[in-house]
């Protein structure tokens, strides 16, 4: 490190950010080389395995296994708790407050802040994405990074704008997960199940005419179906309203040749808005 120049060090940091290591989780850095050196080295050979004692004198199950059994018996049903908390929220500020204090999702510990929504809750179109990324986590708003900027351009192409004052041309945007998963990993099935009741209540309270399921996780989380490549552009129903799955803008940034299909879907959305 001593000989490393400024530009080389900066390039290394950029590389780490590209890989997703873009935030400090702890207050102080951990020198893992020092930890390795300090680790105790086994000197004596491991003791020989004891002969199996007769059943009568065999000890009770080890405490770890007993504790596991007890934990299973006492396991809290976090999905049911989330459902109750979401149902008790009678407006959007109350829903946001309930999510802020929901203690069962470990993502709330690693994320910087809750990312609830952006745009106009009265908009006819509600977009549900996957999960916040780094910029969203920092700003507390969904879709504000590169993918979000592409989303804004896509919406502008059909006359929609999250900042519009008029609900006819505005949109309302949220995500399946309100907290950023570490290193932008995919949402786990447990997280989607646990936070699903909050998204559904969010949809109920905002009550949009049309839902846009932006990406695989939103599509799977709200329709139960996987495979955005096959499902995109096919209108379906979610919570008694029309919903259209679409390619996620982050995917379109990686595969720009699929933008033509996204354009088809945007035109389909525009036509549907005229009809209802
Ligand atoms: N991707 C999403 O799905 N949501 C965001 O808010 C940002 C990126």
Per residue in 6-20, pLDDT (tens digit) is 767 776 676 666 555
Kindly give the number of the ligand 1 atom that is closest to the alpha carbon of 115. Answer: 6
Of 94 and 54, more confident: 94
Helix (H, G, I), strand (E, B) or coil at 56: helix
Q: Could you tell me if the CB of 147 is within 6 A of ligand 1?
A: yes
Fold (CATH) for 81-275: Uracil-DNA Glycosylase, subunit E (3.40.470)
CB 159 within 8 A of CB 169: yes
Write down the H helix ranges in the chain: 6-19, 32-38, 63-74, 78-87, 92-100, 107-110, 134-139, 146-156, 189-206, 216-223, 228-231, 249-254, 259-275
Q: How many Cβ atoms from other residues are within 10 Å of residue 111's Cβ?
A: 21
Kindly give the number of the ligand 1 atom that is closest to the alpha carbon of 135. Answer: 7
Which residues lie closer than 8 Å to 8 by C-beta, 6 or more apart?
none
Q: Which tokens belong to 194?
A: 């646990």
CA torsion sign for 55, 60, 65, 71 is positive
Kindly give the number of the ligand 1 atom that is closest to the alpha carbon of 142. Answer: 6
Phi then psi for 212, rounded to 5 degrees?
A: -110, 120
Of the candidates 190, 208, 222, the residue with the CA atom closest to the CA atom of residue 276: 208
Q: Could you tell me if the CB of 142 is within 6 A of ligand 1?
A: yes
Beta bridge partner(s), residue 174? 128
Answer whether residue 81 shows pLDDT above 60.
yes
Overall average pLDDT of the 54-81 stretch: 62
Overall average pLDDT of the 49-67 stretch: 50
Predicted pLDDT at 28:
65
CA distance 116 to 216: 20
Tell me how far the alpha carbon of residue 131 lies from the centroid of ligand 1, in angstroms.
5
CA distance 234 to 220: 14
**Containing H/E element for 247?**
none
Q: Could you tell me if the CB of 129 is within 6 A of ligand 1?
A: yes
Predicted pLDDT at 30:
63
Overall average pLDDT of the 175-185 stretch: 97
CB 214 within 8 A of CB 95: no
Of 58 and 94, more confident: 94
Q: Could you tell me if the CB of 131 is within 6 A of ligand 1?
A: yes
Q: Could you tell me if the CB of 181 is within 6 A of ligand 1?
A: no
């Amino acid at each position: 490190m001593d000989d490393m120049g400024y530009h080389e060090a900066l390039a290394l940091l950029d590389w780490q950010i590209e890989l997703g290591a873009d935030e400090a989780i702890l207050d102080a850095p951990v020198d893992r080389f020092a930890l390795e050196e300090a680790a105790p080295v086994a000197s004596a050979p491991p003791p020989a395995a004891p002969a199996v004692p007769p059943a009568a004198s065999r000890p009770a199950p080890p405490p770890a296994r007993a504790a596991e059994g007890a934990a299973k018996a006492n396991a809290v049903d976090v999905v049911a708790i989330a459902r109750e908390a979401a149902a008790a929220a009678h407006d959007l500020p109350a829903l946001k407050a309930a999510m802020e204090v929901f203690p069962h999702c470990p993502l709330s510990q690693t994320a910087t802040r809750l990312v609830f929504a952006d745009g106009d809750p009265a908009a006819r179109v509600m977009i549900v994405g996957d999960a916040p990324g780094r910029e969203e986590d920092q700003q507390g708003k969904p879709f504000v990074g590169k993918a979000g900027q592409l989303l804004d351009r896509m919406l502008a192409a059909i006359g929609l704008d999250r900042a519009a004052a008029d609900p006819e041309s505005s949109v309302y945007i949220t995500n399946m997960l309100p907290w950023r998963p570490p290193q932008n990993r995919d949402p786990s099935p447990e997280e989607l199940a646990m936070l699903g009741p909050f998204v559904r209540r969010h949809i109920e309270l905002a009550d949009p005419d049309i839902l846009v399921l932006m990406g695989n996780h939103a599509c799977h989380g709200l329709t139960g179906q996987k495979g955005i490549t096959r499902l995109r552009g096919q209108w379906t129903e979610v919570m008694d309203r029309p919903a259209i799955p679409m390619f996620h803008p982050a995917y379109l940034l990686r595969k720009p040749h699929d933008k033509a299909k996204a354009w088809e879907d945007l035109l389909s959305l525009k036509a549907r808005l005229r009809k209802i």
